[in-house]
Amino acid sequence: MPLKLAQAVQEALAQGYQLRPDAYRFLEGLAAEADPATLVVQAVVAKRARGDAEMALSRADLEQILPRPPEEVEVVPAKDISPAEIPSEVEIVRDPTTSVHPAAGGEAFALLFRSRYYKLLAIARQRPDGHQIQRVVSVKTGAREGTKKIAGLVLAKRIRRTSTELVLDDESGRLTVIAGEEGVARAAADVALDQLVIVDVVSGRRGDALATRIYHPDIPDHVPSFAKRRVYAVFVSDLQVGSRMFLLEAFQRLLVWLQGRGGDEAIVRRVKYVVIVGDAVDGAGVYPGQDADLEEPSTVRQYERLAQLLEQVPTQMSVLLIPGNHDPTRQALPQPAVPREHAEPLARLPNVYSLGNPAVVRLHGVQVLLYHGQSLYDVVATTPGLTFEKPAAAMKVLLKARHLAPMYGGRTPLAPEPEDQLVIEGVPDIFVAGHIHTLDAEKYRGTLVLNCGTWQAQTQYQANMGIRPTPALLPVVDLATLDLVVRDFSQPSPGRA
Ligand code: ZN
């Protein structure tokens, strides 16, 4: 057995794993410069991160780890199929349109928060130390016991000069925990109301419960799913069609580019998805005095205009669309898709999927969480250190909380659904939002976090809020690698940002 291969087998055994014969043959066939032992370690980490308990590595486990050079991504040789003929592969995993059934009465929100608690507790229990989580009633204040781990929704937060207090509720009861040590107090101050946190507590001398560590359900560090072919998705949001500030010319340049008449052929030929994450139109009556900002005050005609634009997207591309706070559908989250009386012109287009907000889809096997981003204002306003220039950082706060709109009673209306559909249950490969009108992206624990910017010039409202938008920049994501490039349509000749 060659030395490198022997090392790989040893490494697998040391980790407690067997190599299946197909995995062994795969390692044998690797190029000489490859490092099979490292590959094995990465595959083990990825398998554990997926929660896959099987203690044997297969060829598929190993293949998932390998970077894919362009020529190897194509399963079908390029000469046999032109990229234009690659069918799009859209799988709708979650769409609230058919699942919204708000409850009535005083108990309605209690049901929502119970559902939130149990869903987030299940996620917290999947953490490596999650099995240690106990009920808050098990914490006997005053008794000298060791560290206990508890988890609960944050009912109240009081920031004092030398400490921060959190009141946690976990259905078994309520407990006030005091974060006094500097780092822990800061972590407590960052916590959003109504989110679930996990806290290590000890009993203090005065019979109080002292927090020694505070953390979030979070997403695991993971290897994302990649498309097996090189295909691209482009993301847009906040077009605000109907607004006087909608950048029609820039959007027309984007359409010309998608039609393959603007160069950039290597990418454009492989664009399979155009994803619109809300505020496609500007709506009407969304804020006081909006009429003065509208070029087209009828929301029905705004949708007709939108359809006229989307009709120009080549039909081999799938267009996916969710509503935002400007679209004419229920404002409280989760939002069902824009209803038929408005969306009729879109429904006539064969390649358009109109979904609710938030929605989860798989595009060529890549799991994408689509969310307009209504709660991002609340997150920026209540988390120290965050700004509107870096919306991806605010989106990371939501991923860590595993919830799209933790704060109840902020600027984000929530519907009293008996099931909390805003919990981030699956781990997305791409988490995309808009609403802030600023393009921003970063990778977080394997997930691409992306805020799409806008196709509207700066409004007076944004100027007052100190928001400087980045209009007409297009993020283009290679679904085979989750790498991102940006195209700039703000000027007549598309340049590169
Ligand atoms: Zn918005």
How many angstroms does the Cα of residue 262 sit away from the middle of ligand 1?
Answer: 29
Ligand 1 center–CA 369 separation, angstroms: 16
| Structure tokens belonging to residue 488 | 């700039």
Instruction: Judge whether 323 and 335 are in contact, CB under 8 Å.
Output: yes
Amino acid 493: pLDDT: 63
**How many angstroms separate the CA atoms of 379 and 394, rounded?**
6
Residue 306 Cα to ligand 1 midpoint, Å, equals 16
Q: Ligand 1 mean position to 375 CA, how many Å?
A: 10
Which pLDDT score is estimated for 107? 81
Strands 148-159 and 164-169: antiparallel
* Ligand 1 midpoint to CA 59 (Å): 44
Q: Is 367 helix (H, G, I), strand (E, B) or coil?
A: strand
- In angstroms, rounded to a whole number, what is the distance separating the alpha carbons of residues 257 and 465? 33
CA–centroid distance, 435 to ligand 1, in Å, is 4
Distance from Cα 351 to the centre of ligand 1, integer Å: 24
Quote the ligand 1 centre to 470 CA distance (angstroms).
Answer: 15
56 CA from centroid of ligand 1 (Å): 47
Q: Are strands 148-159 and 196-203 parallel, antiparallel or unpaired?
A: antiparallel
Q: Are strands 56-57 and 90-94 parallel, antiparallel or unpaired?
A: unpaired
pTM (two decimals): 0.82
Distance 432 CA to ligand 1 centre (A): 13
Over residues 287-334, the pLDDT tens digits come to 888 899 999 999 999 999 999 999 999 999 999 999 999 999 999 999
Instruction: Tell me the one-letter amino acid at 61.
Output: D
Taking residue 30's Cβ as centre, other Cβ atoms within 10 Å add up to 16
Q: Which residues of 122-146 are buried (b: 16+ CB within 10 A; e: fewer)?
A: ebbeebeebeebeebeebeeeeeee
Q: How far is the CA of 277 from the centre of ligand 1 (A)?
A: 9
Percentage of the residues of the chain whose pLDDT score is greater than 70: 94
User: How far, in Å, CA of 280 to CA of 326, rounded?
Assistant: 8
SS3 content of the chain, % helix, strand, coil (to 5): 30, 25, 45
Residues 17-35: what's their mean pLDDT? 82
Q: Which helix (H) or strand (E) holds 73?
A: helix 70-73
Interatomic CA distance for residues 391 and 449, integer angstroms: 9
- Show the tokens assigned to 485: 């490039």
Q: Say if residue 78's pLDDT is above 50.
A: no
Residue 240 CA to ligand 1 center (angstroms) comes to 9
CB distance 203 to 220 below 8 Å = no
Nearest to 154 by CA among 202, 204, 183, 120: 120
What distance in angstroms lies between residue 280's CA and the mean position of ligand 1's atoms? Answer: 9
- The CA 220 to ligand 1 mean position distance, Å, reads 29
Lowest pLDDT segment from 131-145, 198-212, 332-346, 422-436: 131-145
Degrees to nearest 5, angle at CA 182 with 177 and 187:
60
Q: What is the mean pLDDT of residues 363-372?
A: 98
- Smallest CA-to-CA distance from 408 within 121, 186, 169 is with 169
For residue 384, report the distance from its CA to the centre of ligand 1, in Å.
Answer: 22
Going from the Cα of 323 to the center of ligand 1, the distance in angstroms, rounded, reads: 9
| 3-state secondary structure (DSSP) of residue 415 | coil
Output the CA 376–ligand 1 centroid distance in Å.
10
Q: Distance from the CA of 239 to the center of ligand 1, in angstroms?
A: 10
How many whole angstroms separate alpha carbon 170 and alpha carbon 173? 6
* Average pLDDT of every residue of the chain: 89
Look at strands 196-203 and 209-215 and give their pairing: antiparallel
Asked if pLDDT for residue 67 goes beyond 80, the answer is no
Torsion of CA 297, 301, 307, 309, to 10 degrees: -50
pLDDT tier at 82 (50, 70, 90 boundaries)?
Answer: low
CA of 23 to the centre of ligand 1 (A): 48
